[in-house]
Structure 1
């Protein structure tokens, strides 16, 4: 891709501020999916199709950068079903069709989670109904998309040391109403419904090397050992990696790399699944903020990608124009947040180049 094409892909007019754009383009690297592919990795982002209607430039950006995508909302339970036994797959089908037409792999997200439950599930769930509800949902959704997706996040955020349980499991409705074997049942049911998909346990805070993160890592490895010993079809672990700028000292250290090695020893494929960096504690100055965020992207991804079992990096958004952090954790000073590799105008930021550098430094997968 030449410099002018790169600028065009970013949705920027080559007639305005050409000198500064030329400087950016001269420093530009190949699209992230191409850099990843050179190392037999995947690069992608979450996506809601409505963003394309709001910004044609974002569509061009997404297509230029991504070869794998996660539906931000389209496959969550409360997006699919508003009444018991009834499903509307129209938006999710459109998402899958778009990705198929553009040769983009799809990560199904997510089947069993304590959050994003429809009101009717919350009303009806009980020890008598929970197992049937969970299995029926897996059969309906994974069965509907059977053979069309690269992977499924089968269970999501199932660990929580704060629950004060010896096994580290989250005190979710599924645990409380089904029991500790709900994870095993969920994976077996998904394997039966969609036998070609890679089955992933997606989890948060495993990246953080502190007391809470260490407890999560210990619980994850213990749970995996038991499940794998029983032949449960778990193929991969997703590390969400919703990171904060104030976590720089507890990310990407040796203990994290040891943990990734332990997952690899257990035959797990590893994915960074929801990567972004909150900037709420960083200075007002955009240059200082962008540098701090880029440094953290570089540190975390360099450590992560040294492990050959890591197979893909998926950010939770590409451009600052579409990020959940704007509503979830806005800056107190009211300034726009800048957590992603491209700014609100789809122009590359220092974070973009930091991600590119980490991909270029990664060993090539066998």
Structure 2
């Protein structure tokens, strides 16, 4: 994939700890063969990298940086500020001044460590509600709505050689897109650098909103920003809500896990058509889209096996559980061959 689209955009994957530590040689070979951009699934999230007030754990994050450098891959840091998977001590901070100190030290310590070693940061992740208003997170509660501007300002100071992105899901939908645009304009009006916006791309088979995606690519580009698709997967299992809020859950029910013993060919064919149409759109806007990252390498790794229902058998990516290319993989490559 990386060679097929080398003249258009980077092709990325999100890696877990086992992949970063190269525990499976077949997996490592596939990653090196197919991808030229990497994002950590979890090891740079604050609960992992900053477990206590005065304690940082860079062990696996440093290994990821070394892996990316060794293989000449672009690395996107994910994520400096996010309300979920937050450092466990942070929610217990009562003083606003102390919370601001945590916020400042967290960004400066991590961003400065990797300045020049990684290509980009998701500085703030998922700060918006579906209607485009600011999410009532602990950051909004403690620091006010300008915390996003301040996060980008601090990241700009700490990592002058790193691109800075805002990342969210459903920000291709009109109401949330409008809120995202207003947020970006506020950052720009404050004279603070923002280089791009990430559209996560957690979509459902047969329901990929191509019209809204195209409108969003054009709208974000009009702000002078790069556009990335940062967490792409196309889910095949049923659920009763849209979006990717990790705090939402559904009760376990056999009807919600219909493909335990394999997935029907017609569902794989629809998924292939969805991926093909998506990548055709990305190619149409290759002057605006700079990276397309899959949220995982193979179906077995995907977070969608355990969310919003634990223990399901999902099939959202381009490689199956044996690392064999799926029809969707072939459909995407066929666009250039």
Q: Which among 160, 167, 178 is matched to residue 218 of structure 1?
A: 178
* Alpha-carbon separation, structure 2, partners of 1:77 and 1:356: 36
Query: Does the 8 Å contact 1:204/1:240 carry over to 2?
Result: yes
Calculate the TM-score normalised by the size of structure 2. Answer: 0.88
**Shift in Å, 1:329:** 4.0
Query: Does the 8 Å contact 2:149/2:186 carry over to 1?
Result: no
Question: Are residues 1:238 and 2:198 paired?
Answer: yes
Structure having the higher Rg: 1
Q: Which residue of 1 aligns with 2:252?
A: none
Q: Which residue of 1 aligns with 2:156?
A: 191
Q: Which residue of 1 aligns with 2:323?
A: 346
**Shift in Å, 1:303:** 2.2
Q: Which residue of 2 aligns with 1:204?
A: 169
**Shift in Å, 1:273:** 0.4
Query: Does the 8 Å contact 1:201/1:236 carry over to 2?
Result: yes
After alignment, is 293-302 or 99-108 more displaced?
293-302
Unaligned stretches of 5+ residues in structure 2: 239-256
DSSP 3-state at the match of 2:30: helix
Question: Are residues 1:155 and 2:113 paired?
Answer: no
Q: Which residue of 2 aligns with 1:11?
A: none
DSSP 3-state at the match of 2:97: coil
Query: Does the 8 Å contact 1:33/1:65 carry over to 2?
Result: yes
Unaligned stretches of 5+ residues in structure 1: 1-31, 208-212, 362-366
Calculate the TM-score normalised by the size of structure 1. Answer: 0.81
Question: Are residues 1:72 and 2:41 paired?
Answer: yes
DSSP 3-state at the match of 1:38: coil
Measured against aligned partners, the alpha-carbon deviations of 1:47-79 in whole angstroms (never above 9, x if no partner) come to 024136553211110010011100111111011
Q: Which among 301, 312, 315 is matched to residue 294 of structure 2?
A: 315
**Shift in Å, 1:352:** 0.8
Measured against aligned partners, the alpha-carbon deviations of 1:323-354 in whole angstroms (never above 9, x if no partner) come to 1111114599x6x3211101111111011123
Query: Does the 8 Å contact 2:205/2:274 carry over to 1?
Result: yes
**Shift in Å, 1:286:** 2.6
Measured against aligned partners, the alpha-carbon deviations of 1:172-210 in whole angstroms (never above 9, x if no partner) come to 111111011111110010011010100000111123xxx
Query: Does the 8 Å contact 1:257/1:303 carry over to 2?
Result: yes
* Alpha-carbon separation, structure 2, partners of 1:63 and 1:198: 23
Query: Does the 8 Å contact 2:275/2:328 carry over to 1?
Result: yes
Query: Does the 8 Å contact 1:331/1:337 carry over to 2?
Result: no
Seen in structure 2, the aligned counterparts of structure 1 residues 331 and 74 have a Cα distance that, compared at 3 Å, is closer
* Alpha-carbon separation, structure 2, partners of 1:357 and 1:190: 40
Seen in structure 2, the aligned counterparts of structure 1 residues 88 and 331 have a Cα distance that, compared at 3 Å, is closer
Measured against aligned partners, the alpha-carbon deviations of 1:223-264 in whole angstroms (never above 9, x if no partner) come to 22222122210000001111122524xx111x4322211211
* Alpha-carbon separation, structure 1, partners of 2:113 and 2:225: 26
Identify, as 1 or 2, the structure richer in helix: 1
Q: Which residue of 1 aligns with 2:254?
A: none
Equivalent pairs, count = 314
- Compute the RMSD of aligned alpha carbons: 2.0
Q: Which among 39, 54, 61 is matched to residue 92 of structure 1?
A: 61
* Alpha-carbon separation, structure 1, partners of 2:314 and 2:158: 40
Query: Does the 8 Å contact 1:280/1:331 carry over to 2?
Result: no
* Alpha-carbon separation, structure 2, partners of 1:331 and 1:123: 28
Q: Which residue of 2 aligns with 1:296?
A: 274
Q: Which residue of 2 aligns with 1:275?
A: 232
Query: Does the 8 Å contact 2:206/2:271 carry over to 1?
Result: no
* Alpha-carbon separation, structure 2, partners of 1:355 and 1:117: 36
Q: Which residue of 2 aligns with 1:180?
A: 145
Seen in structure 2, the aligned counterparts of structure 1 residues 357 and 182 have a Cα distance that, compared at 3 Å, is farther
* Alpha-carbon separation, structure 2, partners of 1:128 and 1:300: 45
Query: Does the 8 Å contact 2:156/2:192 carry over to 1?
Result: no
Seen in structure 2, the aligned counterparts of structure 1 residues 311 and 81 have a Cα distance that, compared at 3 Å, is same
**Shift in Å, 1:125:** 5.0
